[in-house]
Amino acid sequence: MIPGLGAFSLEGKTALVTGSSQGIGRTLVEGLAAAGASVVVHGRDAAKAARAAAEVAEATGVQTRSVTFDVTDPAAVDAGIAALEAESGPLDVLVNNAGIQRRAPIGEFSDADWDDLLATNLSSAFYLARRVSRGMVERGSGKIIQIGSVQSQLARPGIAPYSATKGAIVMLTKGLCADLAPHGIQANAIAPGYFATELTQALVRDEQFSSWVRGRTPAGRWGDTQDLVGALVFLASAASDFVNGQTLFVDGGMTAVV
User: Which residues of the shown chain bind ligand NDP in the complex (CB under 6 A)?
Assistant: 19, 21-25, 43-45, 48, 70-72, 97-100, 120, 147, 149, 192, 194-195, 197-200
Q: Which residues of 195-214 are buried (b: 16+ CB within 10 A; e: fewer)?
A: bbbeebeebbeeeeebeebe
Q: Which is nearer to ligand NDP, 116 or 183 (CB)?
A: 116
Q: Of residues 127, 162, 195, 249, which has the active-site annotation?
A: 162
CB of 196 to ligand NDP, least distance (A): 7
The counts of H helices and E strands in the chain are: 9, 7
Cβ pair 10, 235 in contact under 8 A: no
Of 11 and 198, the one with the shorter C-beta distance to ligand NDP is 198
Residue 235, classified by CB atoms within 10 Å of its CB into exposed (0-12), middle (13-18) or buried (19+), is buried
CA distance 80 to 89: 13
Cβ of residue 83: shortest distance to ligand NDP, in angstroms? Answer: 15
Task: Answer yes or no: 162 catalytic.
Answer: yes
Nearer to ligand NDP, 119 or 177 (CB): 119
CA–CA separation, 64 vs 70, rounded Å?
20
Q: Give dist(CA 122, CA 161) in Å, integer.
A: 11
Instruction: In angstroms, give the least distance from the CB of 147 to ligand NDP.
Output: 4
Min separation Cβ 201 and ligand NDP, Å: 9
**Are the C-beta atoms of residues 258 and 201 closer than 8 Å to each other?**
no
Judge contact between 71 and 128, C-beta under 8 A. Answer: yes
Measured from the CB atom, is 95 or 177 closer to ligand NDP? 95
Tell me the catalytic residues. 162
